[in-house]
Structure 1
C-alpha cells in the first residue's frame, strides 16, 4: 500500500450514512440491554419474580447472544448487511415490544432469548460494511466510530430507560424502545445498499477492494465457514476477545456494586462515578481505530497494525485493574478503572478491525462473529464468576485479579497465536487436503 487510492464523493456519502446508522442501531442495541436492569425492582414486584429469576432472565440474553453469533456471521456474509441487519433489528425490537406485554417468567425468558438472538448480527454486520465500503487505511477509524456505540449506549441507557419508566411505566419502556428499533430497521433497509446493488466506477471499486485478492470468491459456504476453525488465527482471535469481553462485563455488571460494597460510596454518588469510566470507553474506541490506521499507513502490516495494539492494550487493562483493586483512594480507583475501560475499547476496536483484514472478504462477518462468540462466552461467565468470588472472599480484590490474569492470557493469544492472514490460497490448500 504505497500510494493512497482516492475515493469519490458518492462513496464518502455512503460511508457517512452507513456509519451514522450503525452508530444509532448499535447504541439502541446497548440501550435495549439496559431495560431489564432498570426495570428490575418493579418487574419483580408486578410479576412476582425472585432475585434468582431475574438472574436467569439477565443471563438468558447473554447465552442466546453468544451462541447466535456463530450462524449470524455466516448469514451476514451470505445474504449481506442490508437484509441481515434489517432482520436482526426487527427481531430484537419485536422481542422488546413482547417484553412489555409478558405476564409470566416463561414468557419473559423466551422474549429475552429472542432479544439475544436478534442483537447478534449487529456487530458482524458492521464489520462487513467496513470491509465492503472502506479502504484498509481507514477501516480502523470506521470501526472505532461504530464500536463506540457500546460505551455510548451504556452511558445513555440507564438515564434514558429510567426516564421512560418513570414517565410511562416499565411495560411502555420496553414497548417504546422496541418501536424505535423498528423505525431504525425501516430506515436501514430503505437507505443502505450493498456494493453489489450500486453501479461503481473502476476507481470506486479499486478504492473499496485495495488489498483484497484479485479473484472474488462466491458467497460463503458451510464448508468454508467450518474451515475457519482449522486456523490458529481464528482461535487466537476467539481467545483474545474472550478476555476483552470478560473484563468488559466485570465492569458492566459489577461496577456500581463494587463502588458501593468495596469502596463504600453512597448510591447517590455511585451513579455518577460509574458513568465516568464508560465515557472514557468512547474515547478508547475512537483512539483504537485511529491507532490501527496510523500504524498501517506507517508501513505496518494490516494484521500487526491491529493485533499488536489489541494485545498491548489488554496488558494495560490488566495493570490498571490490579491497581484499582489495591489503591486506597476512591478517586484513584475510578481513574484506574477509567484507564482500564479506555484500553478495553482500544482492544475491542482493534479486534473488530482485525476481522476486516484477517480473512477473504466473503468470510469477514463469519470470523468477526466467531470472535464475538468467544468474547460473549467470557461475557456470560464474568458476572457469575465475579459474584461467586466476592461471595466466598467478601471482597472484589481476588475477582479483579482473576480478571486481570484472564486479560493477560488473552493478550498473549493476540500476540502469539494470531500469526498470519487467512488467504484464499490457505483455504484452497486446506480444501484440497480435506478432499483427499
Structure 2
C-alpha cells in the first residue's frame, strides 16, 4: 500500500509551492528589467548597444559560475536559509541597479543580481526532494518551474507600467524592495523538514524511494565526486541544449519579429508574449508527464529521459520550420510550440535532479546541471548576434540552435543510465566514468 501525505504535509507542500512560484516570478521579472529599460538607460548613461550586450552577459556569466558553490551551499545550509539569502542578495542587486551612475557600476549590480539568483532553482529542486514523495516530485517541479515562463510573460506589461509612471530607476528599486519583503516572508513561513517534528509516517512518506541512512549534509568529497558520473555529464549536456534554445528565443524573439518578420513595435509586444504563455503550460505539463510515467511503472530515470529527450528533438524540428517558412502565422505557431517544448524539457530536467542524486546532493547536482545550461544561455545571444550580423537573417541562427538541441538530446539519452547511488559516493563508482579512490 502506498503511503499518503498527512494534512500537515499537504499544507506545507501547498505553502512551499506558492512561495517558490512567487519567488520564481520575481526572479524572471527582475532579469527582464534591463531589457525593458534599455532605451532609457542608454540615453541616461550614454551607453552603446554593445555596452548593453555586455551588461546582459555580466548577469548570465555570473549566474552560470555561481551555480556550482550555490548548489553545495543549498545542500549544506538547507533551502530555508538559501532561499532567503539568495532572494535578499539579488533584490539588493536589483536596487543597486536603480542607483548606478556608470557602465561599470551597472556591471557590478548585474553581477550581484546573477550571484543572488544562482541558488534559487537548485534550492527549489531540493525542496521537491525534501517535501514531496517520489511520485509527486515531477508535478511539484513543473509547478515551480513554470514560474520562469510566467515571469517572462508578465514582465513586459508590469515593468513598462512601472517605468512609464515612475521612471526606470524607481522601477529597479520597487522590484528590489518587493524581493526583500518576499525574502522575509520565506524566512518566517518556510521550514526545512528537520525543523518540523514529523511523525514516523510522514517521514516514511517523504523519504520513500530514497537510500536508507542518507547523509544529512553534503561534503566536499561528495560534491567533487559527482563529476565522475556519466549521469552528471548527461544532465549538463542536455540542459545546455535546453537553455540555449530558451535564451535564443528569450533574447532575440522581439528582434526576430521586428527585423525578420517586419512587425511593428506594438505588434511585437502583443505577439511576442504568446509563445511564453505556451511556455507556462509546457512547464506545468512537463512535470505532470513525469509523474504519470512513474505511476504507470516507468522507472524514475526513464520517466525523465523520455520527455526531456523527445521534447528536445521536437523543439529542433519546430525551430527549423520557423527558420524556413515564409508564413508569419506558421512561424509564430512553431516558436510557441518550441517554447512549450523547452519548458517541458526544463521541468523534466529539474525533476531528474530529485531522483538522480543522493538525497544530500540534490541541489548540488541540480546546480551542476544549471551551470551547463547557463553556459548555453550565455552563448546563445552572442552566437545568434554574430550569425545574424554576418548573414543578415535569423535562419542560420535558428538552424544552429536546432542542431545544438539534437546533439544535447543524444547526450542526455545515452549518457544518463542510472541514478548516482548513495553508497558509492564514499567508495567505488558504479556506472561512472572512473572509480573513486
TM-score (norm 2): 0.98
Aligned partner of 2:313 among 315, 320, 323: 315
Residues 321-357 of structure 1 deviation map (CA, whole Å, 9 limit, x = unaligned): 0011111211111001111110100000000000000
**Distance in 2 of aligned mates of 1:228 and 1:195:** 24
Deviation of the 1:397 alpha carbon: 0.6
Match of 1:141 in 2: 139
Mapped pair 1:382 → 2:361: no
**Distance in 2 of aligned mates of 1:53 and 1:385:** 17
Match of 2:125 in 1: 127
Conservation of the 8 A alpha-carbon contact between 2:427 and 2:436: no
Runs of 4+ in structure 1 over 2 Å off: 428-436
Conservation of the 8 A alpha-carbon contact between 2:323 and 2:395: yes
**Distance in 2 of aligned mates of 1:417 and 1:128:** 23
Aligned partner of 2:227 among 229, 244, 258: 229
Match of 1:296 in 2: 294
Match of 1:259 in 2: 257
Match of 1:57 in 2: 55
Residues 255-311 of structure 1 deviation map (CA, whole Å, 9 limit, x = unaligned): 111111111122221111111010000000111111000000000001000111100
**Distance in 2 of aligned mates of 1:431 and 1:131:** 23
Deviation of the 1:158 alpha carbon: 1.1
Mapped pair 1:109 → 2:107: yes
> Which stretch has the larger CA shift, 41-50 or 8-17?
41-50
- Tell me the secondary structure at the aligned position of residue 422 of structure 1: coil
> Which stretch has the larger CA shift, 416-425 or 368-377?
416-425
Match of 2:73 in 1: 75
Mapped pair 1:360 → 2:358: yes
Match of 1:215 in 2: 213
Match of 1:85 in 2: 83
Structure 2 CA distance for partners of 1:354 and 1:435, relative to 1, 3 Å: closer
Aligned partner of 1:151 among 149, 152, 157: 149
Aligned partner of 2:26 among 22, 25, 28: 28
**Distance in 2 of aligned mates of 1:368 and 1:352:** 7
- Tell me the secondary structure at the aligned position of residue 428 of structure 2: helix
**Distance in 2 of aligned mates of 1:398 and 1:47:** 34
Deviation of the 1:426 alpha carbon: 2.5
Residues 351-406 of structure 1 deviation map (CA, whole Å, 9 limit, x = unaligned): 00000000111000000000000000000000000010111111111100000000
Structure 2 CA distance for partners of 1:431 and 1:312, relative to 1, 3 Å: closer
Residues 152-200 of structure 1 deviation map (CA, whole Å, 9 limit, x = unaligned): 0001111111110111111100000000000000000000000000000
Match of 2:402 in 1: 404
**Distance in 1 of aligned mates of 2:2 and 2:396:** 49
**Distance in 2 of aligned mates of 1:159 and 1:74:** 36
Deviation of the 1:425 alpha carbon: 2.5
RMSD: 1.2
Structure 2 CA distance for partners of 1:431 and 1:315, relative to 1, 3 Å: closer
> Which stretch has the larger CA shift, 352-361 or 38-47?
38-47
**Distance in 2 of aligned mates of 1:95 and 1:375:** 23
**Distance in 1 of aligned mates of 2:255 and 2:303:** 36
Deviation of the 1:434 alpha carbon: 7.0
Mapped pair 1:173 → 2:171: yes
Which consecutive unaligned segments of at least 5 residues does structure 1 have? Answer: none
TM-score (norm 1): 0.98
Conservation of the 8 A alpha-carbon contact between 2:143 and 2:284: yes
Structure 2 CA distance for partners of 1:211 and 1:37, relative to 1, 3 Å: same
- Tell me the secondary structure at the aligned position of residue 125 of structure 1: helix
Match of 2:337 in 1: 339
Deviation of the 1:435 alpha carbon: 7.5
- Tell me the secondary structure at the aligned position of residue 278 of structure 1: helix
Conservation of the 8 A alpha-carbon contact between 1:308 and 1:414: no
**Distance in 2 of aligned mates of 1:83 and 1:286:** 26
